[in-house]
Structure 1
């Protein structure tokens, strides 16, 4: 299982593994508090100061305490109310995201001569010199497979406005140092996607096979947030975001054909986890787990249930993707367009789920139980 999505990102319409213990999803740690959110503003061009450096960006959201701004490079920043008069000013002009050439030069300066920056159609991949084309090809293929899979199922996919960045560090220690440099608190991961800076990070210190599933999981998060499949500032349920990540862990899901047979698309680790922790012959027990999953993200925050939460999230999204594509597309299209920073309360989550899926939890769980029963675990 992979690391959680960390940090928050931007409004989707403005933005253009290794067997480890995953961190719990932290999308609730918004950059701007939902309790103090002011009425929506029309995004406007601003100049803002971070440290001693001024840069241009878009002012996205205003609250009583702070403002959320996105820079030309896709990074998100908060400007507190007390600093706003001295650190942010409105300007005229058009917002122009950083070009691939500009960002490539910035990455070269940021990581130094021991690294190279390889450009693909959709990525800038930072990696230690001499690693060849293995990583760039992997990230590019993951993204193309993701887009193909989503479009074939009616999910709205758009082209992102910012170049996607993937950073491959030479070993695990270097990766943790880089994660710490960015102010991210996480441990025991093979990789992660931090959507505050819109980067996937992993390391090249072990066999590729041991971390490939995590990389595919995190690359799916990055593709989802850059293509508008998820919004990067609203409260999307973890079973939706992490279910998608789990779906793309199998090798076949990044093969270019997204797996020609259903058996190739099955996350067998998730199937085994479900059968070990939930009585899948008891639809009532499955329904209790599904009900709890829909109503809140608590299962992802509890160390005793987190692995089962990832597996159950996978099964729910995989079932919809394979057996009810209309509901699969509707779930993603609906959650991607919810208002930014609006708390998604338990009751409303359930109402929306039953409306979109077209059945209650008991009926859905019965169908899910029969579907999982026929899936291979080996």
Structure 2
């Protein structure tokens, strides 16, 4: 009976939030774990919550034991808050460099060039479509890109995302975590990005597979 009441109340709250100008920040307890986020979709079986770092979590209603409105308005984490969480996750040996649209996690001394490169790819992408009158919305969350120094670490991380077969895979975007993961098998971090050129100066120096991965996943 308790879970039935919770189900009705939660469905009512989610239905109401879909017509509000600003979605509330919800906290749902599922299988003993508290999950915070705003709802982006729900049906009679489950709801999809977007967390403050952009991750998506599917919550089956039958697993919910409690819920509450944590704040009246959902607010994405700032770049500083997200950076702090990434630092806790990856620890020593990695550095984090941020730009307007990206947060790059890479081995010490290597994040800066990749941040510049990702920004250049975005500028070229934006310029190409804007001159053709395509409207491009600014991303709500910074995109996290993780550059691993070797395939072994990349494979271990991919396994956490449920990707077991990484043969021939240089990188990928996981929509549920809102992250790009890739590895630089050639050590191509001393890349030269010349923002005064319209061509991808930095990209030209990269391994072809890695280059195509960055162009595809960064945009």
Query: Structure 2 matches for 1:88-107, cutoff 5 A?
Result: 88-107=67-86
Cα distance in 1 for residues equivalent to 2:180 and 2:30: 23
Aligned equivalent of 2:108, options 105, 116, 129: 129
1:126 is paired with a residue whose SS is strand
Query: Structure 2 matches for 1:256-335, cutoff 5 A?
Result: none
1:46 is paired with a residue whose SS is strand
Aligned equivalent of 1:196, options 176, 191, 197: 176
Shift of 1:207: 5.3
Aligned equivalent of 1:65, options 34, 37, 45: 45
Cα distance in 2 for residues equivalent to 1:65 and 1:184: 26
Retained in 1: the 8 A contact 2:37–2:49?
A: yes
Aligned equivalent of 1:149, options 128, 148, 162: 128
Query: Structure 2 matches for 1:95-244, cutoff 5 A?
Result: 95-131=74-110, 133-188=112-167, 189-206=169-186, 208=188, 209-210=206-207, 211-220=210-219
Cα distance in 2 for residues equivalent to 1:52 and 1:116: 33
Query: Structure 2 matches for 1:7-26, cutoff 5 A?
Result: none
What's 1:269 paired with? none
1:200 is paired with a residue whose SS is strand
Which structure has the highest strand share of the two? 2
1:133 is paired with a residue whose SS is helix
Shift of 1:96: 0.7
1:166 is paired with a residue whose SS is strand
Shift of 1:129: 0.9
RMSD: 2.3
What's 1:270 paired with? none
Cα distance in 2 for residues equivalent to 1:80 and 1:149: 41
Name the TM-score, length of structure 1 as normaliser: 0.45
Which structure has the highest helix share of the two? 1
Q: 1:51 to 1:128 in 2, by over 3 A?
A: farther
Q: 1:215 to 1:184 in 2, by over 3 A?
A: same
Cα distance in 1 for residues equivalent to 2:136 and 2:150: 34
Structure 2 residues without counterparts, runs of 5 or longer = 1-14, 189-205
